[in-house]
Amino acid sequence: MSDSFEVYAPLATNVNANRAVVPPVAAARVSKVRCPTAQLPSPSSNNGAFSVSPSAFGRSPTPTRSVSRGRVQAAAARQPSASIPRLPDSLLLRYEREGFVQTPRLLQPEQMSSLRASCEQLVASRRLDSLRHRIRVLCPGVDPDSVTSEAEARAALEDHATDDLGFLQFFNLHRINKAVARVALSPELASVASQLLGVRRVRVYQDCLFLKEPGFAETNWHSDLRMAPLDTNDFITAWIPLRPILGAHSGSDKAAAARSPPDSGLIFAAGSHRDFALPFWHDMDGRDLSDRGYAIKDTGPMEVGDVSWHHGWTLHCAAPQPVNTPPRLALSVAFFADGARLLARRSDPSVRAELLHDEDEESYSAWLPALAKGKGKDGAVARHKLLPVVWPLDASEADNFPLGI
Ligand SMILES: O=C(O)CCC(=O)C(=O)O
């Protein structure tokens, strides 16, 4: 485990919104904080993003299942393709301290190749919708539905966006595509999520495919929980690149490395998920975070099948995707502990409802209204068939997925 290349980089402020920017809790009024990539020595230096070799995982036997007969066939689709990893204590400890870790080779090559093929098709067929989403987020005053072609959408973004385009997002593909469902609902991810969260029952919150085309800008600093209408700390995101993340230091051929600048992996402010003092004491409006002393660490090079994990409050960002590189596609899958409640945005005056950023609204609009009215209500427990339990395996509601395909 290397802690070399730790940098106490200034986190300069800026006005923008490629991922709602945020330090944990106090944030809607915050000046947006731009990813400090240029100040890092190398975004690909694998500088302490903790990773263990697969042999360091204790392998537990595949759990025995006791499912009702009707569910057996569907459940078979979720049998782990390899044994489920038991994470070493050192990795759990690192996650507690830093708020992010890596699990190398967690997903199998076959899973990954069909995932990538499916995602590429989905991107091709849904790009206009995704551009409309960016217009909604970045171009206040422009009606996304008034845009009828990709060219029009790009022109609208060019003319009206309050920030550079950092990525395109495609939400909840696991609800419409089997290859994505097989990964997003997989026992491998669910088991690791349960261990890192330290909870018995885990639900999938959403998946989101991030496309960074060459030349796309950075993903700004943000915390994922800022965009989720859940009143919980037990939230974790798996970030799964669909092609290798190449870094300048990934090979011994320095000339080749120089020709191929580092891909945009994730960059983390280590320990920021534990920085309760930041939002508690500070007015975040316009604040420069450079005095917080965070160690800034990145994922470094990643292979297909490797998974990077971060806590819902961990501040993270990603560098721009260099020109002359292939597009960078990554699937993120977010999980939360069963029992979490909805943010009581209307009924509890102590909730600072304005802090919830609506960038991911397309993701929760399918279930939130149903839960927030009628029997369920503001502050209700977040239980819905679109938020299936994926762990433990024998309690899994994910056996019924994918829905409608
Ligand atoms: O891939 C990216 O650029 C951003 C991903 C991200 O913020 C996440 O998975 O939480």
Please indicate whether residue 95 or residue 77 has the higher confidence score (pLDDT).
Answer: 95
Look over the chain and give the mean of its residue pLDDT values, rounded to a whole number.
81
* Alpha carbons 33 and 82: distance in angstroms, whole number: 41
Q: Which atom of ligand 1 is nearest to the CA of 212?
A: 3
Say if residue 12's pLDDT is above 90.
Answer: no
Closest CA to 352 of 6, 24, 4, 12: 24
- Which atom of ligand 1 is nearest the CA belonging to 219? 3
pLDDT at 241 exceeding the cut of 60: yes
**Nearest alpha-carbon partner for 196 in 36, 333, 385:** 333
Q: How far is the CA of 310 from the centre of ligand 1 (A)?
A: 10
Q: What is the pLDDT of residue 291?
A: 85
Q: In whole angstroms, how far apart are CA 397 and each of 1, 207, 211, 352, 392?
A: 37, 16, 29, 32, 10
Report the percent of the chain where pLDDT is more than 90.
60
- Cα 373 to middle of ligand 1, angstroms: 31
The helix-helix angle for 89-98 and 187-197 (nearest 10°) equals 70
Q: What is the pLDDT of residue 286?
A: 64
Rounded distance from Cα 210 to ligand 1 centre (Å): 7
Domain boundaries, the chain: 37-400
Share of the chain above pLDDT 70, in %: 74
Which residues are CB-neighbours of 347 under 8 A, at least 6 positions away?
Answer: 377, 378, 379
Q: What is the mean pLDDT of residues 161-187?
A: 96
Mutate to test the pocket of ligand 1, among 266, 273, 363 (most ligand atoms within 8 A of CB): 266
The predicted structure's pLDDT at residue 194? 97
Which residue is closest in CA terms to ligand 1's atom 1? 210
Work out whether strand 84-86 and strand 58-60 pair parallel, antiparallel, or are unpaired. antiparallel
320-378 per-position pLDDT tens digit: 999 989 999 999 999 999 999 999 988 889 998 888 999 999 999 999 988 877 555 78
DSSP 61: P
Pocket of ligand 1 (CB under 6 A): 19, 167, 210, 212, 219, 224, 237, 239, 316, 318, 330, 332
What is the architecture of the domain spanning 37-400? Sandwich (2.60)
Atom of ligand 1 at shortest range from CA of 208: 9
Cα–Cα distance, 229 to 288 (Å, whole number) = 26
Per-residue pLDDT of 34-77, as tens digits, reads 565 433 333 334 443 434 444 444 444 444 333 343 344 444 45
- Look at ligand 1, atom 8, and give the residue with the nearest C-alpha: 332
